[in-house]
Amino acid sequence: GSLERRRCLYLHRGRACCQMMEVLLAALILVCSSVSGGSAGGYTGLPALGGIYYYQYGGAYSGFSGADGERAQQLDQRFYLLKLPIARAAMAVGGCLLVFPCVLILVGVLRVPWHFPAWLLIECTLCIAIAVGTVPALYYFFHSLLSVYNSSVCKEREQLYQSKGYQGFWCSLHGAEIAAGLLGCMAAMAYLLSAGLAVRDYRTAHEQKQKPLQL
Protein backbone atom coordinates (compact mmCIF):
# COMPACT_ATOMS: atom_id res chain seq x y z
CA GLY A 1 0.00 0.00 0.00
CA SER A 2 0.90 3.66 0.19
CA LEU A 3 2.46 3.21 3.65
CA GLU A 4 4.84 0.54 2.38
CA ARG A 5 5.69 2.75 -0.59
CA ARG A 6 6.57 5.66 1.69
CA ARG A 7 8.78 3.41 3.79
CA CYS A 8 10.64 2.17 0.72
CA LEU A 9 11.01 5.73 -0.56
CA TYR A 10 13.05 6.57 2.53
CA LEU A 11 15.81 4.25 1.33
CA HIS A 12 16.18 6.45 -1.75
CA ARG A 13 16.60 9.65 0.25
CA GLY A 14 19.99 11.28 0.69
CA ARG A 15 20.09 10.65 4.43
CA ALA A 16 19.39 6.94 4.01
CA CYS A 17 22.07 6.62 1.31
CA CYS A 18 24.54 8.32 3.63
CA GLN A 19 23.59 5.94 6.44
CA MET A 20 24.08 2.93 4.18
CA MET A 21 27.52 4.28 3.33
CA GLU A 22 28.23 4.51 7.06
CA VAL A 23 27.25 0.84 7.42
CA LEU A 24 29.65 -0.13 4.65
CA LEU A 25 32.51 1.92 6.11
CA ALA A 26 31.93 0.47 9.58
CA ALA A 27 31.97 -3.07 8.18
CA LEU A 28 35.28 -2.37 6.44
CA ILE A 29 36.71 -0.87 9.64
CA LEU A 30 35.66 -4.02 11.47
CA VAL A 31 37.38 -6.21 8.88
CA CYS A 32 40.60 -4.17 8.91
CA SER A 33 40.66 -4.17 12.72
CA SER A 34 40.25 -7.93 12.84
CA VAL A 35 43.12 -8.32 10.37
CA SER A 36 45.29 -6.09 12.54
CA GLY A 37 44.48 -8.15 15.62
CA GLY A 38 44.85 -11.51 13.89
CA SER A 39 47.63 -13.98 14.34
CA ALA A 40 51.09 -12.47 14.29
CA GLY A 41 52.24 -15.25 11.99
CA GLY A 42 55.74 -16.51 12.44
CA TYR A 43 56.83 -20.00 13.33
CA THR A 44 55.03 -22.92 14.89
CA GLY A 45 56.89 -25.84 16.38
CA LEU A 46 56.38 -29.27 14.85
CA PRO A 47 57.40 -31.81 17.50
CA ALA A 48 57.25 -34.66 14.99
CA LEU A 49 60.06 -33.02 13.04
CA GLY A 50 62.43 -32.86 15.96
CA GLY A 51 62.45 -29.18 16.77
CA ILE A 52 62.29 -27.87 13.22
CA TYR A 53 59.97 -24.87 12.95
CA TYR A 54 57.50 -24.36 10.18
CA TYR A 55 56.85 -20.98 8.60
CA GLN A 56 53.06 -20.58 8.64
CA TYR A 57 52.63 -18.21 5.73
CA GLY A 58 55.55 -19.10 3.49
CA GLY A 59 55.04 -22.85 3.43
CA ALA A 60 58.77 -23.55 3.75
CA TYR A 61 60.81 -25.03 6.56
CA SER A 62 62.93 -22.46 8.29
CA GLY A 63 66.44 -22.55 9.54
CA PHE A 64 65.18 -22.02 13.08
CA SER A 65 65.86 -24.78 15.53
CA GLY A 66 66.11 -25.16 19.26
CA ALA A 67 66.48 -21.91 21.19
CA ASP A 68 65.98 -19.66 18.14
CA GLY A 69 62.68 -21.29 17.28
CA GLU A 70 61.43 -21.10 20.84
CA ARG A 71 62.48 -17.46 21.05
CA ALA A 72 60.62 -16.71 17.82
CA GLN A 73 57.48 -18.26 19.24
CA GLN A 74 57.79 -16.28 22.46
CA LEU A 75 58.26 -13.01 20.60
CA ASP A 76 55.31 -13.77 18.33
CA GLN A 77 53.08 -14.39 21.33
CA ARG A 78 54.22 -11.29 23.19
CA PHE A 79 53.82 -9.14 20.08
CA TYR A 80 50.33 -10.54 19.53
CA LEU A 81 49.34 -9.79 23.14
CA LEU A 82 50.61 -6.22 22.82
CA LYS A 83 48.43 -5.59 19.77
CA LEU A 84 45.37 -7.47 20.99
CA PRO A 85 43.85 -4.72 23.23
CA ILE A 86 44.19 -2.16 20.44
CA ALA A 87 42.57 -4.45 17.91
CA ARG A 88 39.74 -5.31 20.29
CA ALA A 89 39.07 -1.64 20.99
CA ALA A 90 39.04 -0.88 17.26
CA MET A 91 36.68 -3.79 16.60
CA ALA A 92 34.37 -2.61 19.39
CA VAL A 93 34.26 0.87 17.87
CA GLY A 94 33.68 -0.61 14.42
CA GLY A 95 30.85 -2.73 15.79
CA CYS A 96 29.17 0.27 17.39
CA LEU A 97 29.56 2.26 14.19
CA LEU A 98 27.95 -0.64 12.34
CA VAL A 99 24.93 -0.89 14.64
CA PHE A 100 24.21 2.84 14.96
CA PRO A 101 23.40 3.62 11.29
CA CYS A 102 21.39 0.38 11.06
CA VAL A 103 19.22 1.70 13.90
CA LEU A 104 18.88 5.05 12.14
CA ILE A 105 17.82 3.34 8.91
CA LEU A 106 15.18 1.37 10.81
CA VAL A 107 13.94 4.54 12.51
CA GLY A 108 13.71 6.25 9.13
CA VAL A 109 11.85 3.36 7.50
CA LEU A 110 9.35 3.41 10.38
CA ARG A 111 8.86 7.15 9.70
CA VAL A 112 9.65 8.14 13.27
CA PRO A 113 11.17 11.49 12.14
CA TRP A 114 7.91 12.37 10.39
CA HIS A 115 5.83 11.77 13.51
CA PHE A 116 8.47 13.21 15.84
CA PRO A 117 10.60 15.75 13.91
CA ALA A 118 12.65 16.61 16.99
CA TRP A 119 14.25 13.18 16.57
CA LEU A 120 16.18 14.60 13.63
CA LEU A 121 17.84 17.14 15.93
CA ILE A 122 18.82 14.31 18.27
CA GLU A 123 20.16 12.38 15.29
CA CYS A 124 22.12 15.43 14.16
CA THR A 125 23.67 15.85 17.61
CA LEU A 126 24.67 12.18 17.79
CA CYS A 127 26.21 12.28 14.31
CA ILE A 128 28.27 15.36 15.17
CA ALA A 129 29.39 13.75 18.44
CA ILE A 130 30.53 10.62 16.58
CA ALA A 131 32.34 12.64 13.92
CA VAL A 132 34.17 14.72 16.53
CA GLY A 133 34.89 11.67 18.68
CA THR A 134 36.51 9.94 15.73
CA VAL A 135 39.47 12.35 15.89
CA PRO A 136 40.75 11.35 19.38
CA ALA A 137 39.84 7.72 18.62
CA LEU A 138 42.10 7.72 15.56
CA TYR A 139 44.85 9.44 17.54
CA TYR A 140 44.65 6.77 20.24
CA PHE A 141 44.60 4.00 17.63
CA PHE A 142 47.73 5.11 15.81
CA HIS A 143 49.56 6.28 18.93
CA SER A 144 49.02 2.88 20.58
CA LEU A 145 50.06 0.97 17.47
CA LEU A 146 53.23 3.02 17.07
CA SER A 147 54.04 2.38 20.73
CA VAL A 148 53.82 -1.36 20.04
CA TYR A 149 55.94 -1.11 16.90
CA ASN A 150 58.56 0.93 18.77
CA SER A 151 58.72 -1.58 21.62
CA SER A 152 61.76 -3.75 22.29
CA VAL A 153 59.65 -6.86 21.62
CA CYS A 154 58.86 -5.78 18.07
CA LYS A 155 62.44 -4.68 17.36
CA GLU A 156 63.91 -7.96 18.59
CA ARG A 157 61.32 -9.94 16.64
CA GLU A 158 62.10 -8.01 13.47
CA GLN A 159 65.84 -8.57 13.84
CA LEU A 160 65.39 -12.27 14.57
CA TYR A 161 63.34 -12.89 11.43
CA GLN A 162 65.60 -10.75 9.27
CA SER A 163 68.60 -12.75 10.47
CA LYS A 164 66.99 -15.81 8.86
CA GLY A 165 66.21 -13.98 5.64
CA TYR A 166 62.47 -13.51 6.18
CA GLN A 167 60.84 -10.21 5.30
CA GLY A 168 57.42 -8.84 6.21
CA PHE A 169 57.98 -8.59 9.97
CA TRP A 170 58.86 -4.90 9.99
CA CYS A 171 57.95 -2.71 12.93
CA SER A 172 55.72 -0.36 10.99
CA LEU A 173 52.05 0.13 10.23
CA HIS A 174 50.71 -2.32 7.69
CA GLY A 175 48.06 -1.84 5.03
CA ALA A 176 45.02 -2.91 7.05
CA GLU A 177 45.86 -0.49 9.87
CA ILE A 178 46.39 2.42 7.49
CA ALA A 179 43.15 1.49 5.71
CA ALA A 180 41.28 1.45 9.03
CA GLY A 181 42.49 4.99 9.72
CA LEU A 182 41.46 6.24 6.28
CA LEU A 183 38.07 4.56 6.61
CA GLY A 184 37.66 6.21 10.00
CA CYS A 185 38.27 9.62 8.42
CA MET A 186 35.74 8.84 5.69
CA ALA A 187 33.23 7.72 8.32
CA ALA A 188 33.69 11.01 10.21
CA MET A 189 32.96 12.97 7.03
CA ALA A 190 29.93 10.77 6.32
CA TYR A 191 28.55 11.49 9.80
CA LEU A 192 29.03 15.22 9.33
CA LEU A 193 27.13 14.96 6.06
CA SER A 194 24.40 12.98 7.83
CA ALA A 195 24.15 15.72 10.45
CA GLY A 196 23.65 18.34 7.75
CA LEU A 197 21.03 16.23 5.99
CA ALA A 198 19.22 15.66 9.29
CA VAL A 199 18.95 19.42 9.83
CA ARG A 200 17.66 19.88 6.29
CA ASP A 201 15.06 17.13 6.74
CA TYR A 202 14.03 18.61 10.09
CA ARG A 203 13.29 21.94 8.43
CA THR A 204 11.34 20.21 5.67
CA ALA A 205 9.31 18.11 8.11
CA HIS A 206 8.66 21.12 10.34
CA GLU A 207 7.41 23.18 7.40
CA GLN A 208 5.13 20.39 6.21
CA LYS A 209 3.74 19.97 9.72
CA GLN A 210 2.97 23.70 9.89
CA LYS A 211 1.13 23.88 6.56
CA PRO A 212 -2.22 22.45 7.75
CA LEU A 213 -2.23 24.93 10.62
CA GLN A 214 -1.87 27.85 8.24
CA LEU A 215 -4.87 26.92 6.12
Whether 213 is in a domain gets the answer: no
Integer-rounded Cα radius of gyration of the chain? 25
Number of domains within the chain: 1
pLDDT value of residue 7: 61
Whether 49 is in a domain gets the answer: no
Whether 149 is in a domain gets the answer: yes
Whether 156 is in a domain gets the answer: yes
pLDDT by residue (tens digit) across 155-184?
999 998 888 777 778 898 988 999 999 999
Per-10-residue mean pLDDT, the chain, length 215 = 62 88 96 79 43 42 66 88 93 95 92 87 96 96 95 92 80 91 96 95 82 53
Full residue range of the structural domain in which residue 180 is found: 2-40+70-208
Whether 74 is in a domain gets the answer: yes
* Alpha helix positions (H), the chain: 2-10, 14-36, 67-109, 112-115, 118-149, 152-163, 175-214
pLDDT value of residue 53: 44
Whether 215 is in a domain gets the answer: no
Whether 182 is in a domain gets the answer: yes
Whether 54 is in a domain gets the answer: no
Half-sphere exposure for 103 (CA within 13 Å, toward CB)? 10
pLDDT value of residue 50: 39
- pTM value? 0.81
Q: At what angle do helices 175-214 and 118-149 cross, to 10 degrees?
A: 170
